[in-house]
Amino acid sequence: MKTILKTNDHSIEWKPRPSRIPAWSGYVFAVAVTVLTLLARMQLDVVFATRPLLVLFILPIILSAYVGGLGTGLVATLTAAVSVNYFLIPPIHSLQITELNDFIQWLILIVSGGLISVLNESLRRSHQRLEQVVTKRMQAEEALRDSEEHYRTLIEQASDGIFIADSRGHHVDVNTTGHTMLGYSREEILAMYLSDLIPNEDLAAAPPRLDDMRAGKTIVAERRLKRKDGTLLPVEVSAKMLPNGYIQSFVRDITERKRNESKFGGLLESAPDAMVVVDQQGRIAMINKQTEALFGYMREELVGQLVEVIIPERFRGTHPTRRTAYSEAPSVRPMGTGLELAARRKDGSEFPVSISLSPLETAEGLLITAAVRDITERKQAEEEIRQLNAELEQRVIERTAQLEVANKELEAFSYSVSHDLRAPLRGIDGWSQALLEDYHERLDEQGRQYLARVRSETQRMGQLIDDLLELSRVTHANMQTKSVDLSALAQVTAANLQKTQPQRLVEFIIQAGLSAKGDPQLLEIMLSNLLSNAYKFTGKTLNTRIEFGQIEWQGKQVFFVRDNGAGFDMAFASKLFVAFQRMHKASEFHGTGVGLATVQRIIHRHGGQVWAEAEVNQGATFYFTLEESL
């Protein structure tokens, strides 16, 4: 059973087609109709008398031929011919025909029957052909309707708005997306022209490029379309001319993209570096002003180009592979992570750049933002620094060599000072003494005083040389670092000092258990200098008290040596630690002014600080730290 698909606008239903009569039933029908006609004729003998009147049998033949076609018609003709011959043509009940008149009538019946059958068959065939044609036509129409349906569905389901206008620009079709995005109904759009949707100023600024469309080009442009409510919709239009002259436009709402672009664009423009946004295909999607300035290209010249255009030729070959590798595993790479490369300006010149990369997933796919910074100056500065460093290093080597020579000279100088300068002093002192002893009687009192001065000055100079040598030694001596018991050192020094002037009554208050890390010899010199000073400057004080201890000062452990002696004027404190600077007259307190300079050098060599607080006649306190205080 064959079925056809019949579709209405909204429903599909199935209908069976009437079946053709089988061939054998046609033949039975032919015989039956003919026999019925014969029986009817025989009943009408009264009317027609005995004349055969064969014309009556044309009826069943026509009927049969109509119903069954050639075969059935011929069966009816044959049945009629045989039965009329036998029952109606004299001699009756015989197949003989005696009269010519009857025979001619009989022949006419047969010929007429045959002719009717043939003609009917022909009619049937042409009818069948017609039916086939009609069927085919109907099927074609069905198919067309199907495809139109698909097309309509496609159009309706498209996310883009689709507008079709005739050659005069009058809309002939629009999909739901299309009229919805503009806030119109379908009918309203169909009553409008293309130009009704575009603001006048835009039309004037950028008229539709009809000539290009006629030339078969697809025009892609960004436009603004007027909505029914008067607002403007930013869209991307892709328009082309169909073969029939109609204009078909695909319209995409790019509100979101525009918003992103303006956001993103603002970001790009405000960036201090040249920003180059590249899509996954390696094409430059966006750049900022700084890029134009840095590379010497106009925006239009770069956007849409492969990013390799701003890379020196010698790197262009390998760059796409690296770019693809990055796209496959994108990660943020900040500046200064080894991305120091060369870039190429429009004029072909190259310059060194530092590049940071950051991937950005967008609706249009992965975008890679490259921040490009010209590091020419930095490179130059680095090169300069490198050269300066090299020069500096060379100079350090030279200076070190000079210093070594100077140190050797200094050592030699110290050595000869200690030997050669002291020997004559000893001579001056010795012979002055000899003079005093051997020529005592010949010298008057004044002469003896002069000689005494010669001796005391000589001794002072000897002391000065000794102090200077010590200062030099503490500056240059190699240092050992050990834990040194400062309390014990102070005790020993105090005992020694008391022996020098046993008649003095001095109270030493030494805090027990103080120790520090440092060079034992240097720390001993330092501490004994401070305590000797305290001892010396308390020489004119009654109830002398000298303290050594430790206090906390500004969160640090600080050692101190305190006395209640002569003190000094804090106005001159800045000169305190300078060699040869003295705070007191030689007639009050003898000294060389080297002791505190020595103290300061030793403390500085230990990474510490030394300072003093004092008041005239109220005593002095010397504070010091040693970096490695325990």
Partner 1 sequence: MSSKIILLVEDNPSDVALTQRALSKSRIANELVVTEDGQEALDYLFGTGRYAGRDVAESPALILLDLKLPKVDGLQVLRQIRTDERTRRLPVVILTTSKEEQDVAQSYDLGANSYIRKPVDFTQFVEAIQHLGLYWLVMNEPPPLKAR
Taking CB under 8 A as the binding criterion, the range among 156-164, 323-331, 339-347, 451-459 that sits at the site for partner 1 is: 451-459
Nearer Cβ to partner 1, position 120 or 432? 432
280 binds partner 1 (CB under 8 A): no
Q: To the nearest whole angstrom, how small is the minimum distance from the Cβ of residue 418 to partner 1?
A: 5
Query: What is the Cα–Cα distance from 558 to 236, expressed in whole angstroms?
Result: 79
Nearer Cβ to partner 1, position 309 or 469? 469
Query: What is the Cα–Cα distance from 182 to 320, expressed in whole angstroms?
Result: 42
The Cβ-side half-sphere exposure at 630, using a 13 Å CA radius, reads: 12
Nearer Cβ to partner 1, position 306 or 425? 425
The Cα-based distances of 433 to 356, 437, 439 in angstroms read 88, 6, 10
The Cβ-side half-sphere exposure at 541, using a 13 Å CA radius, reads: 22
499 binds partner 1 (CB under 8 A): no
Nearer Cβ to partner 1, position 361 or 441? 441
Q: To the nearest whole angstrom, how small is the minimum distance from the Cβ of residue 337 to partner 1?
A: 57
312 binds partner 1 (CB under 8 A): no
Nearer Cβ to partner 1, position 365 or 424? 424
Reduce the secondary structure of 7-61 to three states and give it as a string.
ECCCCEECCCCCCCCCHHHHHHHHHHHHHHHHHHHHHCHHHHCCCCCHHHHHHHH
Do the beta carbons of residue 585 and residue 572 sit within 8 Å? Answer: no
Q: To the nearest whole angstrom, how small is the minimum distance from the Cβ of residue 524 to partner 1?
A: 14
What is the separation of C-alpha 181 from the centre of its chain, rounded to a whole number of angstroms?
34
Q: To the nearest whole angstrom, how small is the minimum distance from the Cβ of residue 426 to partner 1?
A: 5
Query: What is the Cα–Cα distance from 595 to 582, expressed in whole angstroms?
Result: 10
Q: To the nearest whole angstrom, how small is the minimum distance from the Cβ of residue 566 to partner 1?
A: 26
**Buried/exposed 352-380: b ≥16 CB within 10 Å, e otherwise:** bbbbbbebeeeeeeebbbbbbbbbeeeee
448 binds partner 1 (CB under 8 A): no
405 binds partner 1 (CB under 8 A): no
Q: To the nearest whole angstrom, how small is the minimum distance from the Cβ of residue 431 to partner 1?
A: 7
Beta 219-226 vs 247-253: how paired, if at all?
Answer: unpaired
* Number of residues forming the site for partner 1 (CB under 8 A): 22
457 binds partner 1 (CB under 8 A): no
480 binds partner 1 (CB under 8 A): no
Nearer Cβ to partner 1, position 287 or 451? 451
Amino acid identity of residue 221, one-letter, is A
520 binds partner 1 (CB under 8 A): no
Do the beta carbons of residue 357 and residue 369 sit within 8 Å? Answer: yes
Which two structure tokens, joined as six digits, stand for 9? 């606008």
572 binds partner 1 (CB under 8 A): no
Helical pair 70-87 and 100-157, crossing angle rounded to 10 deg = 160
With CB under 8 A as the contact rule, the residue among 248, 260, 358, 459 that binds partner 1 is 459
472 binds partner 1 (CB under 8 A): no
Q: Which residue has the tokens 């030494």?
A: 510
Nearer Cβ to partner 1, position 281 or 407? 407
Which two structure tokens, joined as six digits, stand for 57? 């049998």
Q: To the nearest whole angstrom, how small is the minimum distance from the Cβ of residue 595 to partner 1?
A: 18
Q: To the nearest whole angstrom, how small is the minimum distance from the Cβ of residue 475 to partner 1?
A: 15
**Is 357 in a helix, a strand, or coil?**
strand
Say how many Å lie between the first and final Cα of the chain, rounded. 113
Q: To the nearest whole angstrom, how small is the minimum distance from the Cβ of residue 470 to partner 1?
A: 10
Query: What is the Cα–Cα distance from 472 to 468, expressed in whole angstroms?
Result: 6
**Is 527 in a helix, a strand, or coil?**
helix
Nearer Cβ to partner 1, position 424 or 607? 424
Query: What is the Cα–Cα distance from 514 to 560, expressed in whole angstroms?
Result: 11
Nearer Cβ to partner 1, position 350 or 457? 457
Taking CB under 8 A as the binding criterion, the range among 414-422, 503-511, 524-532, 573-581 that sits at the site for partner 1 is: 414-422
Q: To the nearest whole angstrom, how small is the minimum distance from the Cβ of residue 407 to partner 1?
A: 15
With CB under 8 A as the contact rule, the residue among 117, 175, 458, 528 that binds partner 1 is 458
462 binds partner 1 (CB under 8 A): yes
Radius of gyration of the chain (CA): 65
Q: To the nearest whole angstrom, how small is the minimum distance from the Cβ of residue 598 to partner 1?
A: 16
The Cα-based distances of 468 to 2, 497, 528 in angstroms read 132, 22, 16
Question: Residue 112 CB: number of other CB atoms within 10 A?
Answer: 18
Reduce the secondary structure of 170-229 to three states and give it as a string.
EEEEECHHHHHHHCCCHHHHHCCEHHHHCCHHHHHHCCCCHHHHHCCCCEEEEEEEECCC
Nearer Cβ to partner 1, position 412 or 512? 412
581 binds partner 1 (CB under 8 A): no
Nearer Cβ to partner 1, position 224 or 460? 460
Nearer Cβ to partner 1, position 79 or 432? 432
Nearer Cβ to partner 1, position 327 or 418? 418
The set of residues, in sequence order, having a beta carbon less than 8 Å from that of 189 and lying 6+ positions away, is: 163, 171, 174, 178, 179, 182
475 binds partner 1 (CB under 8 A): no
| Per-residue binder mask for partner 1 (CB under 8 A), 536-565, x = binder | ------------------------------
| Per-residue binder mask for partner 1 (CB under 8 A), 415-434, x = binder | x--xxx-xxxxxx-xxxxxx
Q: To the nearest whole angstrom, how small is the minimum distance from the Cβ of residue 567 to partner 1?
A: 31
Residues that bind partner 1 (CB under 8 A): 414-415, 418-420, 422-427, 429-434, 455, 458-459, 461-462
